[in-house]
Structure 1
Amino acid sequence: MFTVAIILTVFFLLLGGATFNGDFANLEPMFQGGVGGLMAVLVMIPFLFVGFDVIPQVAAEINAKKKIIGRILIISIVSAVIFYLLIVFGVAAGMSKGQLEASSLATADAMVQLLGHQAFGTVLVIGGVAGIVTSWMLFFIIGASRILYAMAERGMISKWFAYIHPKYKTPTNAILFLGALAFFFAPLLGRPALVWIVNAGGVGIIVGYLIVSIAFMRLRKTEPELERPYRIKYWRTTGVLAIGLSLLFFFSFYFPGMPASLSWPAEWILLLGWVLIGYILYVMNPRTKETIEHDKRTQSV
């Protein structure tokens, strides 16, 4: 709760400063650079939606009704969109285009500009770090560790990742592996590599959404009586829209020749490397051996 209080305090300080001290002329023009400028920003959006898939991944560990979990997922996405839009509004109202281009930490600089003291920039940085450590970074580790656990249960990777702590019932080895990976390698990559990972990872995210949308449509036809957390009333319309938007995102953002297509060679090498690793794991998957009981396989999925 303390961390939430810090984040909300910083948020309302920025929003209040923008409302009363901001220059709304800085908001013009609303869009710049035409389609290319819009695409350059939109290309990062799929990566920003990754954290929300942690909710269904850990649904089995949430002590709540399945219907409530579905509502939590929708509310969290809508709340995050509103939160980020207001942050963008606050920064844009606080700094001119030239100031934004010259700033290396625009949100903190906007806070100083709006509230008139350097200390407010420090407060914002503290709030940002608190948010990173306790929100998406933590949830990335939670979601990724459950994926490694599921892959280990299915036999795709070493059983070492499937170890469950006897007391806390969490995939301990998977969590330790991810923590060590982040601790030792993340500081060595630098900002350019981070941009490559975000852009190339966006393709995988879009493909993941596409596969899930196709599976959703197929399961409603092949397994109509399957127990589900909640049922969508107009599932055909929802499924078609999800598949269509996933394809639109893919071809509009990442297809060669588009304004926000992946850069060569770094981002394409990353993407092809991930595809190759996935193919190797698929080939090594003992899918012809019935070594996993049906209920355990269902649980891992």
Structure 2
Amino acid sequence: MQEKSRFKKVMSSTDILVVAFGAMIGWGWVVSSGRWIQNAGTIGTLLGFIIGGIMIYFVGMTYAELTPAMPKVGGEHVFSHKAFGPTGSFICTWALILSYIGVVCFEAVSLPTIMQYIFPSFAKGYMYSVAGSDVYATGVILASVFTISIIVINILGIKAASILQTILTLTIAAVGIILVVASAINGSADNLEGQVIIGDGGSAVKNILSVAVVAPFFLFGFDVIPQVAEEINVPLKKVAKILLLSIICAVLFYGLVVFAVGYALNSKGISEAMEGSGLVTASAMEKVFNSTVMAKVLIIGGLCGVITSWNSFLIGGSRAIFSMAESKMIPGRFSKLHSKHKTPVNALLLIGVLSLAAPFFGRTMLVWISDAASFACCLAYCMVSLSFLILRKKEPELHRPYKVKHYRFVGITASVLSGLMVVLYLIPNSGCSMTIEEWIIVGGWAILGLSFYIICKRHYKKQFGTLALEK
């Protein structure tokens, strides 16, 4: 592989960790903890997240070996190309781009909603409704300002984006630690009564598994690391360890927050919070401090989570688009790098335009996009896990700075678990099956991808699907 990189190698170990961790810690820890506890109990939710975390950790181990072995921009694009060839690589990367764009768009719409929790009178200038979701001028303006700001920061360079990520991630961590410590001091074990594990015997197992199935969807984001492989200025073996550490940190964060909520609020308190704002984690913060101000402090921490997730997936999505364009799988103009900052400017602008459009469609439609994005991510994970197994057979002499032990067990487990998640989305009434609207999004994205595939293959001919390292 060529040693020369088209990008600036400026990312440190801290930068890599906060980009991955920030991607995994979004808004879910603020808004979903109450629902998880009601479904499975406090300890049941912890067990569910541990099980879900194990699933993601197996997939993460395949990434940990492949990323330092092929440290090129696009990550999964390169892995799947080496294993499956251009067509398989197209499917994997195209699915991954949908998952990244889906998250970016969803965060753009979540931002006004969060602001309304902090300032109840924020929503002004009613415009129209989409599928029961009201669209307000103030929300569109706020989302647009943040979108443009984040795009500009990313165009200025990955280091600038990493600095923003570090500040926000430290804020999230600080708020989370404050909640956990305050809950330990002012909470009570009596609050766990009746909500340790919900159900008995088989029903308890089913409830725990219901959390385990959704947990991986809150742990997506470590895969941003391979996307920026050419911008990392860290020993390759260390990159693999940081990737795995980011998964452990995310599972630990969610687990501690859930336990803190269950320790601070009894089942009645959680029910009242669910019927009220729905922000049970913020209610727990208010309870342990006896202060509505501290509840808003926690919501601000959640707001930081939205921005870190938004920023990370913007970074990952732009690099994935760049890698496909560089391989002549989509129009080549998206492979343009900024002359000074060496960032994929056109790819960033494309995602920026989609982000600007998202708030106009209302929050309900973005829920559909989010679910479609989760399906696409599971598909990409499955293909990467299979690539891991294939490349061990196909290229046994490939230099692997970090080599996974018992690779067959790891690769098969990762492939089966991620493949199972894909199947659950496809089976009707599985609890995870996609709605008609989500099928339309996935189908439309597939048709768009097929169109690019046919047009670019005819236009670029032999250049189609060639990796930069092969040119």
What interval of TM-score do these two structures reach, taking the shorter chain for normalisation? 0.7 to 0.9
Relative to structure 2, which stretch is displaced further, 9-18 or 77-86? 9-18
Question: Counterparts of 2:467 and 2:419 in 1: how far apart (Å)?
Answer: 33
Deviation at 1:38, TM superposition (A): 4.9
Match for 2:257: what amino acid? I
Relative to structure 2, which stretch is displaced further, 164-173 or 145-154? 164-173
* Structure 2 counterpart of 1:284: 455
Match for 2:198: what amino acid? F
Residues 39 and 260 in structure 1, CA contact (< 8 A), matched pair in contact too: no
Q: 1:193 to 1:94 in 2, by over 3 A?
A: farther
SS of 1:209's equivalent in the other structure is: helix
Equivalent residue in structure 2 for 1:230, among 379, 387, 402: 402
Residues 172 and 304 in structure 2, CA contact (< 8 A), matched pair in contact too: yes
* Structure 2 counterpart of 1:151: 324
Q: 1:248 to 1:142 in 2, by over 3 A?
A: same
Residues 329 and 465 in structure 2, CA contact (< 8 A), matched pair in contact too: no
* Structure 2 counterpart of 1:122: 296
Equivalent residue in structure 2 for 1:73, among 207, 227, 243: 243
Deviation at 1:240, TM superposition (A): 1.1
Question: Counterparts of 2:240 and 2:339 in 1: how far apart (Å)?
Answer: 29
Match for 2:367: what amino acid? V
TM-score, normalisation: structure 1: 0.87
Q: 1:209 to 1:16 in 2, by over 3 A?
A: same
User: In percent, how many aligned pairs have the same letter?
Assistant: 38
Equivalent residue in structure 2 for 1:273, among 437, 444, 459: 444
Task: Give runs of aligned pairs for residues 228-267 of structure 1, distance below 5 A.
Answer: 228-252=400-424, 254-263=426-435, 265-267=436-438
Residues 46 and 205 in structure 1, CA contact (< 8 A), matched pair in contact too: no
User: For 1:48-72, what per-residue CA distance to the aligned partner results, in whole angstroms no more than 9, with x for missing partners?
Assistant: 3331101111111100111000000
Question: Counterparts of 1:108 and 1:298 in 2: how far apart (Å)?
Answer: 52
Q: 1:3 to 1:258 in 2, by over 3 A?
A: closer
* Structure 1 counterpart of 2:57: none
Query: Number of matched residues?
Result: 296
Question: Counterparts of 1:26 and 1:268 in 2: how far apart (Å)?
Answer: 42
Residues 326 and 467 in structure 2, CA contact (< 8 A), matched pair in contact too: no
Structure 2 residues without counterparts, runs of 5 or longer: 1-165
Residues 36 and 260 in structure 1, CA contact (< 8 A), matched pair in contact too: no
Deviation at 1:78, TM superposition (A): 0.5
SS of 1:289's equivalent in the other structure is: helix
Equivalent residue in structure 1 for 2:179, among 8, 11, 14: 14
In the alignment, structure 1 residue 87 sits paired with structure 2 residue 260: no
User: For 1:214-270, what per-residue CA distance to the aligned partner results, in whole angstroms no more than 9, with x for missing partners?
Assistant: 11111111111223342222211211111121223233455223133223x212222
Structure 1 residues without counterparts, runs of 5 or longer: none
Relative to structure 2, which stretch is displaced further, 185-194 or 27-36? 27-36
In the alignment, structure 1 residue 220 sits paired with structure 2 residue 387: no
Residues 329 and 464 in structure 2, CA contact (< 8 A), matched pair in contact too: no
Equivalent residue in structure 2 for 1:48, among 218, 222, 232: 218
Q: 1:139 to 1:174 in 2, by over 3 A?
A: same
Equivalent residue in structure 2 for 1:169, among 342, 358, 377: 342
Q: 1:71 to 1:292 in 2, by over 3 A?
A: same
Q: 1:298 to 1:243 in 2, by over 3 A?
A: farther
* Structure 2 counterpart of 1:179: 352
Question: Counterparts of 1:273 and 1:42 in 2: how far apart (Å)?
Answer: 30
Q: 1:259 to 1:36 in 2, by over 3 A?
A: farther
Question: Counterparts of 1:52 and 1:72 in 2: how far apart (Å)?
Answer: 10
Q: 1:274 to 1:258 in 2, by over 3 A?
A: same
Question: Counterparts of 2:349 and 2:389 in 1: how far apart (Å)?
Answer: 36
SS of 1:236's equivalent in the other structure is: helix
* Structure 2 counterpart of 1:131: 305
* Structure 1 counterpart of 2:380: 208
Deviation at 1:129, TM superposition (A): 1.9
Question: Counterparts of 1:105 and 1:160 in 2: how far apart (Å)?
Answer: 43
Question: Counterparts of 2:306 and 2:409 in 1: how far apart (Å)?
Answer: 36
Question: Counterparts of 1:194 and 1:23 in 2: how far apart (Å)?
Answer: 38
Q: 1:24 to 1:192 in 2, by over 3 A?
A: farther
Residues 222 and 247 in structure 2, CA contact (< 8 A), matched pair in contact too: yes
Match for 1:176: what amino acid? L
* Structure 1 counterpart of 2:197: 30
Relative to structure 2, which stretch is displaced further, 216-225 or 98-107? 98-107
Match for 2:326: what amino acid? E
Deviation at 1:293, TM superposition (A): 9.8
Match for 2:237: what amino acid? K
User: For 1:98-136, what per-residue CA distance to the aligned partner results, in whole angstroms no more than 9, with x for missing partners?
Assistant: 123213322222211221011101211222222332x22
Relative to structure 2, which stretch is displaced further, 50-59 or 223-232? 223-232
User: For 1:129-148, what per-residue CA distance to the aligned partner results, in whole angstroms no more than 9, with x for missing partners?
Assistant: 22332x22111000000011
